[in-house]
Structure 1
Amino acid sequence: MGCRRRQHPGAAVRSGSALAVAGGASIRGNKPWPHWPRAAAGAAHILGEVLESGRWSIASPSNGRKTYEQRFAAQFAEYVGVQQCIPTASGTAALMTALEACGVGAGDEVIVPAISWIASASTVLGVNAVPVFVDVDPHTLCLNPAEVEAAITKATRAIVVVHLYSSVADVEALRAIGDRHGVALIEDCAQAHGARFHNRHVGGFGAMGTFSMHHTKLLSSGEGGAVVTSDDALARRVEHLRADGRCRSVVPAAIGAAELIETGELMGSNRCLSEFQSALLTVQLRELDEWNAIRRRNALMLDKLLGELGFVPQATTPGTTERVYFNYAVKVPTGPLAAAGMPTVSDALTAELHFAVRPIYPPLYASRLYDPASRRRFAISEGHLARVSEQRRSLPVAEAAAGQTVTLHHAALLGDEQEVRDIVAAFEKILVHGTELAAR
């Protein structure tokens, strides 16, 4: 125990004090945490430029200058290492347009991981397809390739793989499965901006990659998203799908004229990103790698110190060459803490840190947010509604992980060594009081 005291002076004393949820003093006190999102250098200036430009949308008349959407698209495509980037209004919009661009439609099956945010399922429902929930790897919490192989049927049209929390999925194994069965692989990189696998950025391994730029994400414009691909035909389909069936003219538009032209190729919907968001992303992208490096440094320290206490940090697939952290996920030891349940453990940690600690996502089929019967639009037939509702089944690895794992948002990793040691002290304190928590 002396090693722990040396790593965090005073931690042992505070660990022995009463839990904050039971009225004791908290580990963190009133010290503030790093805030998120944070504006990159030049953010206010570039937003002011858009404000005065007279062009707030790519659908508005041309002012003779390249749009910020075009600028961000070019920058992000180069960053990821692909040929094309098509910005969208959200990560959900990116996923839906990617699915449709790949030809997914009514009655098709789409394999999705059992553990993910609800959009992994709702976007599939949104194109009238059927989400097929597949179990995850117990160490990475990402799609298990062996389980994917077993779940493929004649109706399977796509595999959506999520790089979850801080893990990169085994995209090469999944791509091989997709190629073998003639099924498209779509990478959901909403939580993985900047992650690399075998020295290549994620997003470029599948037919398409999708990103979210939501308030919480590593690269944020409040809301927003993007589809990336090196397939020109797929990119053109996404362009039409996200802009009411229009695409940008290859000939520069005259001042006052529209750049988006009506081709009649493919009907779409309005899922475009505003010029304000696009401009903001051009400056936010400049600092992404620097912020990711800070998070990575602190996460490695957490891995070591929490590992010494018996907690098990989320792993990533071998071959990951640059890891990023949307959330820091860690499994609690078996025993009293696991018996207490993750809502109780999360509440206790939140009280100690004054920073939200949450259980991981529940299995999608067990999520309160997954309820196709609550919306008539999914009742395209009695048989279809039965197919999307009957997906509620038991997947043991996902359920075991949900019963033993908690997460911290990446803002907690943007501080200095003291923030890391406060997190460790909080985990040590609840470990000492595990029996008490289990009895609550």
Structure 2
Amino acid sequence: MDSHTLAVNGGPAVRDRPWPRWPQAAPGAAKALEEVLESGRWAISGPYRGTESQERRFARAFADYHGVPHCVPAASGTASLMLALEACGVGAGDEVIVPALSWVASASTVLGVNAVPVFCDVDPDTLCLDPAAAEALVTGRTKAVVVVHLYSAVADLDALTALARRHGLPLIEDCAQAHGAEYRGRKVGTLGTAGTFSMQHSKVLTSGEGGAVITADAALARRVEHLRADGRVLAAHPPAPGAMELVETGELMGSNRCLSEFQAALLTEQLPELDGQNETRRRNAALLDRLLAEAGCRPQSTSPGTTRRTYYTYAAALPEDALGTLGSGPACRALTAELGFPVSPGYPPLPANRLYDPAGRPRFALDEEYRRRTAPDAAGLPVARESARRTATLHHAALLGDEGDMHDIAAAFTKVLRHSADLPG
């Protein structure tokens, strides 16, 4: 078959070279992990050994990076969101406005504190929470707004912080996909009441699993500390070696959602690499934006207040004539075959996501009213539905290469779009 035949149909692929791998270990990562291994302390719940914990070191470094006084590390991004919600006073039966376009944790974490996720449509350009749509959903039951900085965009934080102030609501920034992004010169996660992060394997700052909550509010940070360590907090002063550093205050019951010392040590080493990697991604994404726009795609944009963008997932809307009745799925499969790198459709609207199924877990069957209020309903979310139909995404590892890699991506898009009539269903 000639070079015009799609690889998914047996033709030659655009590319047969390897892509940058992810994760990429920082130079000091192996030594830091070995030090923890030999330290005799693998968790903050282990005995104090006379030296500062890795968890405290990372918390201080991550807080300093964001210019805030408080960071509480946690076991995952999911744990971080649940901790922030509960620390903000969200509980049984309360409503939390969340974007309809996001990973399932944006909804499942709300269920996890026995509250009700209220799905809000997104802005058609940024694909982040639409402030006007969110305002229309505020009721007397609303207790918080969660904004997700999605894919590679920063939400309109001017409008969303103003909305939160008008209604006296906490605004939680979910920054799981936006480590290092800035809005009007401030790091995301610092403009709302709290910022939450995921350090899961695929994230731009990773320790395999992990998370964190940052805030300028000392009382909120103390509540998060209690909630993540079974109602305990780290002592104000180091104890004697062999004693516990976690203090049982009796102030607030919690659960165990702590980060291990291995993960904290790894994150401390990875953090200095973040800005340089983000700059490489930004430079390559700018080129890719231009190339894909020439091919007829519409790359995701960010809000006007964004002063520094990060790329967790590069997202672009495919032209209508390449979609047919099946949406972006066939084109994404063809692009994957051309590049040897996964190209995936965007997230489905959360209420239509097969992973959102409260009825499948007995713990959420509180009563008939709660089951009714949390049942999936994707009606009234036209922008989220259209985005799910048209979007193609690439993981940020593809942006860690060079200009030649961006031209390969563009060549694959151009080939697939020119021969979209040949796409298998």
What interval of TM-score do these two structures reach, taking the shorter chain for normalisation?
A: over 0.9
1:109 is matched with which residue: 95, 117, 138? 95
Contact 1:359 1:406 in 2 (8 A): yes
SS in 2 for 1:146: helix
State the shift of 1:392 in Å: 3.8
Contact 2:152 2:177 in 1 (8 A): yes
Distance in 2, Cα, partners of 1:431 & 1:383: 47
1:387 pairs with 2:373: yes
CA offsets, 1:110-153, max 9 Å, x none? 00000000000000000000000000000000000000000000
1:262 is matched with which residue: 248, 260, 281? 248
Residue in 1 that maps onto 2:132: 146
Contact 1:332 1:338 in 2 (8 A): no
Identity of aligned residues (%): 63
Residue in 2 that maps onto 1:239: 225
CA offsets, 1:364-384, max 9 Å, x none? 000000110000000111111
1:322 pairs with 2:314: no
Distance in 1, Cα, partners of 2:128 & 2:196: 16
1:191 is matched with which residue: 146, 165, 177? 177
Which amino acid in 1 is paired with 2:342? A
2:55 is matched with which residue: 44, 64, 69? 69
Distance in 1, Cα, partners of 2:302 & 2:209: 27
Residue in 2 that maps onto 1:20: 7
State the shift of 1:435 in Å: 1.5
1:262-411 aligned within 5 A? 262-337=248-323, 339-389=325-375, 391-411=377-397
State the shift of 1:336 in Å: 3.3
State the shift of 1:357 in Å: 0.5
SS in 2 for 1:131: strand
Contact 1:140 1:169 in 2 (8 A): yes
State the shift of 1:310 in Å: 1.1
Distance in 2, Cα, partners of 1:236 & 1:23: 59
1:180 is matched with which residue: 161, 166, 173? 166
1:155 pairs with 2:141: yes
> Which segments of 5 or more consecutive residues in structure 2 lack a partner in the other structure?
none
CA offsets, 1:275-324, max 9 Å, x none? 00000001100110000011111000000111111110000000111000
1:166 pairs with 2:135: no
Residue in 2 that maps onto 1:430: 416
Contact 1:337 1:431 in 2 (8 A): no
State the shift of 1:337 in Å: 3.3
Distance in 2, Cα, partners of 1:230 & 1:201: 13
Contact 1:247 1:262 in 2 (8 A): yes
Which amino acid in 2 is paired with 1:17? H
1:56 is matched with which residue: 42, 58, 68? 42
State the shift of 1:425 in Å: 0.5
Which amino acid in 2 is paired with 1:215? H
Structure 1 segments of 4 or more deviating over 4 A?
Answer: none
State the shift of 1:249 in Å: 1.1
Distance in 1, Cα, partners of 2:231 & 2:247: 9
The TM-score with structure 2 as length reference comes to 0.98
CA offsets, 1:165-194, max 9 Å, x none? 000001121111011111110000000000
Contact 1:166 1:329 in 2 (8 A): yes
State the shift of 1:340 in Å: 4.7
Residue in 2 that maps onto 1:9: none
Distance in 2, Cα, partners of 1:373 & 1:336: 36
Which amino acid in 2 is paired with 1:164? L
CA offsets, 1:23-57, max 9 Å, x none? 0011112x111000010111001111101101000
> Which segments of 5 or more consecutive residues in structure 1 lack a partner in the other structure?
1-12
Which amino acid in 2 is paired with 1:317? S
Distance in 2, Cα, partners of 1:222 & 1:145: 33
Which amino acid in 2 is paired with 1:389? A
Distance in 2, Cα, partners of 1:338 & 1:287: 42
Distance in 2, Cα, partners of 1:332 & 1:239: 44
State the shift of 1:204 in Å: 0.2
State the shift of 1:342 in Å: 1.2
Which amino acid in 1 is paired with 2:50? G
Residue in 1 that maps onto 2:23: 37
- For the aligned residue pairs, the C-alpha RMSD in angstroms reads 1.2
Question: For structure 1, which segment, 414-423 or 330-339, has the greater mean C-alpha deviation from structure 2 after superposition?
Answer: 330-339
Distance in 2, Cα, partners of 1:391 & 1:185: 24
SS in 1 for 2:173: strand
Aligned pair count reads 425
Which amino acid in 2 is paired with 1:263? T
Residue in 2 that maps onto 1:47: 33
Distance in 2, Cα, partners of 1:413 & 1:251: 44
State the shift of 1:160 in Å: 0.3
1:93 pairs with 2:76: no
